[in-house]
Every structure is written in C-alpha cells, then in structure tokens.
C-alpha cells in the first residue's frame, strides 16, 4: 500500500458517513489530484475531472469567449484564435491568469453551465440501481467558486505537495514556460485559505 492509499484509509474513509457520499479532491496546480483520485477509484469510487468538463463547456461557449476576450487579447499581443478558427486554450490561459478581473469574467461565462452539467452527473450516478459507485469525487481546483457544487460536497480532500515538486511536474507535464507556471501558482497561493473560509471540513493528503 502506497503512502497516498494509507492516508486515504486512515483519514478519509472514516469520515464517510453518507450512503451516497460526494466530496471534492482539490489542491493547487500539479499537486497530484489525479493520482489521489485514481487511488479512490481503486476502492470503488467514481471521479469526474472538472477541468475536462470545463473544456467541454468551453467548446460550447467559444463564440462567447471570442466576443468577450479577443479584442483585449489582441491589445496585449495575444492571439486566442488559431488559423483554423479554433480557440487556443493555452493562449487564453496566458491572458486570463494575467488578470484576476479577466479570469472572473471568464468564470462567469463558463461556471453556470458547468454547474448544471455536474449536478446532472451526480443525479444520474446516484439513480443507478446496478453497479453504483461507493461515492462520487469532484476533482476540481477551485470548486469553492461554484457554491452550488460545493454544497453537494460532504467534505474536502486537499492535496498538498512541495513547491519545487509541483513546479517540475508542471513544466514537464504541461510544457509551460516559467512565467506561465508562476502566474498560475500566484493565482492559487491562497487556495487552502479559500477552502477554509467555506467552513467545509478539510482533510489534508500529503503527496
């Protein structure tokens, strides 16, 4: 049993009292949320990656994103539209993480649709009569920004990892330059405090 599995068994499983538990696995960029979710899945839980779900919503909302941000991006020398008229998500990210106001504007476009999609997923999963999972995990970095989803969570599992380890993971995994990584790290520097402010029980997993 690896160290993550041991922490799950010791700290998380005893906290599950609901017959249909829903909880969030969160943490800063490159802390290892996906790995922790994979360990839960081995125990019979199901997880949904909200980052991937955001990408699906983003595809649907691409015309709205162009309308909201293309001019601002061009003024900063950033092209968020590719040659084949698609949205360049990496370029959009560079724009959004340079400004809290722009990031908030983007979230206001994306999060309402995301919330409805995840609520529908939770409902359909809990209605299964056969092969129903032990519980549902929402794998998300900033679920505190979607209060209706946070309300669905019985508690929060917060994944921590050292700064250098996270930096090296992000550079290797996402092929981002140092400035982009630091912008995202800076945007998430108070993440744990943001979750503490929600009043939800927080269980820390060290990765």
Which tens digits make up the pLDDT trace of 43-75?
999 999 999 999 999 999 999 999 999 999 999
Helical H runs in the chain?
3-7, 33-42, 50-60, 62-75, 89-96, 100-126, 147-150, 163-174, 178-187, 191-196
Flag whether the pTM goes above 0.85: yes
The confidence band for 131, taking pLDDT boundaries of 50, 70 and 90, is: confident
Q: Any residues with CB less than 8 A from the CB of 173 and at least 6 apart, and which?
A: 30
Find tokens 């599995």 and name the residue: 5
Span 10-30, average pLDDT: 94
> How high is the pLDDT of residue 128?
87
Distance CA 50, CA 143 (A): 9
Query: Mutual orientation of helices 100-126 and 50-60 as an angle, nearest 10°?
Result: 110
**Position 176 pLDDT exceeds 90:** no
Taking the C-alpha atoms of residue 29 and residue 33, their distance in angstroms, rounded to an integer, is 9
pLDDT for the residue numbered 64: 97
Report the pLDDT value the prediction gives residue 130, as an integer from 0 to 100: 82
Answer yes or no: is pLDDT of 129 > 90. no
Average pLDDT estimate for 84-88: 95
Are 55 and 145 in contact by the 8 Å Cβ rule? The answer is no
Between CA 22 and CA 34 the distance in angstroms is 17
Integer Cα distance of 107 and 61 in angstroms: 11
pLDDT for residue 106 = 97
pLDDT confidence of residue 174: 84
The reported pLDDT for the residue numbered 1 is 79
Q: How far apart are CA 11 and CA 182, in angstroms?
A: 31
User: Environment class of residue 154 by beta-carbon count within 10 Å: exposed (0-12), middle (13-18) or buried (19+)?
Assistant: middle
Q: Quick one: pLDDT at residue 19?
A: 85
Q: What is the CATH number of the domain that holds 119?
A: 3.40.50.300
Residue 188 binned pLDDT confidence (cut-offs 50, 70, 90): very high
- For residue 146, pLDDT over 90 is answered with yes
In the chain, the number of structural domains is 1
| Residue-averaged pLDDT of the chain | 95
Host domain of residue 48: 3-206
Model confidence at 132, pLDDT cuts 50, 70, 90, reads confident
- What contacts 95, CB < 8 A, 6 or more positions away? 69, 72, 73, 76, 78, 80, 102
Is residue 76 within 8 Å of 95, Cβ to Cβ?
A: yes
């Amino acid at each position: 049993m690896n160290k993550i599995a041991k922490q799950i068994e010791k700290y998380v499983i005893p906290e599950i009292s609901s017959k249909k538990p829903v909880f969030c696995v969160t943490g800063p960029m490159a802390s290892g949320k996906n790995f922790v979710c994979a360990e839960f899945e081995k125990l019979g839980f199901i997880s949904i990656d909200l980052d991937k779900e955001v990408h699906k919503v983003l595809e649907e909302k691409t015309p709205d994103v162009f309308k909201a941000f293309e001019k601002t991006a061009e003024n900063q020398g950033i092209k968020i539209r590719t040659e084949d008229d698609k949205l360049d998500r990496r370029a959009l990210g560079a724009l959004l993480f340079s400004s809290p106001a722009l990031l908030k504007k983007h979230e206001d476009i994306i999060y309402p649709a995301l919330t409805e999609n995840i609520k529908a997923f939770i409902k359909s999963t809990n209605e299964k009569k056969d092969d129903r999972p032990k519980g549902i995990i929402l794998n998300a970095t900033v679920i505190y920004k979607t209060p209706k989803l946070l309300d669905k969570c019985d508690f929060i599992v917060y994944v921590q990892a050292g700064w250098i380890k996270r930096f090296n993971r992000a550079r290797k995994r996402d092929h981002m330059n140092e400035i982009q990584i630091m912008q995202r790290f800076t945007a998430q520097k108070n993440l744990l405090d943001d979750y503490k402010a929600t009043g939800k029980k927080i269980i820390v997993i060290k990765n």
